[in-house]
Amino acid sequence: MTAEDYKNGQLILIDKPLEWTSFQVVNKVRWLIRKQFNIKKIKVGHAGTLDPLASGLLILCVGKFTKQIETYQAQHKEYTGTITLGGTTPSYDLETELDQTFDISNITEKQIHEATHQFIGEIQQQPPVFSALKKEGKRLYEYARAGEEVEIPKRTIHISAFEITNISLPEVEFRVACSKGTYIRSLAHDFGKALDNGAHLSALRRTKIGDYLVEDAVSIDEFETQLKNTPS
C-alpha cells in the first residue's frame, strides 16, 4: 500500500477500544498514515460514531473514500451488549452515576423476553440528552452538563432484531440489529420502562455495519504494525 493508494481511497476497519472516542481513532490513524509516508495532509473520517464506553467496529474512510461516508453511515448496524436492570442514569449508560434505583425481585425471565417485542419494527425513539446531537447550535450534552432542561423530539428508527442472549439479573445480555440513528442507550432506558422498572446500558459492542464484520477489523496497534511493514 502506498501513499497514493490511501489518497485515492481506502476503507479501514478498526476495532475501537474502550474509552477512545471515535475522533481519537480518526486522528490517530490520520497521524500514523502521515508519519509513515511523510505526507502533510490526508483525509480520514469515520462512518458512524461509537461512544467512548462502547467498543467494536468503526469504519474509517480515507482519501477520496471520505466522499462515501454517508453511504456507510446509512447501513444497518448490529450490536451486542448488556443492560443492567434496577437503576437509571441521566446518560442512560455508565457515563453518569445512578439517579434512581428500583426493586427487580419480581421481574421474570418471561417478562424480559416478552418486553423485547414492543421494540421490533418501526418505532419512535427519544435520543438521550447526553448526546452530540445539536439543538440551536449547541450539543445536547452541553445543556445536560449545565443542568438545563431541553426538549428533544423523538425520531423514527427501525429495529429488525432484539433478542435476549443471557439473563443473570440484574444483567441482561442482548443482540440488536437496527437502522441508522438508533441509540442503544435509549433502547436500554426504554426497555427498563417497558418492565415498569429502570435500566441503563452497561456494555456495548458494535459487531456489524452492512456486510462488514468486527471479526475482519484490526486494532489500532495492528494497523500501526501493518503500516510499518508497508514500503514508504
Q: Is the peptide bond before 170 cis (omega within 30 degrees of 0)?
A: yes
Select from 222, 199, 8 the least CA-distant residue to 98.
199
Does residue 51 carry a catalytic annotation? Answer: yes
Choose the catalytic residue: 51, 93, 99, 221. Answer: 51
Do 60 and 29 touch, CB atoms closer than 8 A?
Answer: yes
Q: How far is CA 12 from CA 170, 203, 227, in A?
A: 37, 24, 12
Grid cell in block for residue 89: 442514569
Do 186 and 25 touch, CB atoms closer than 8 A?
Answer: no
Just list the catalytic residues: 51
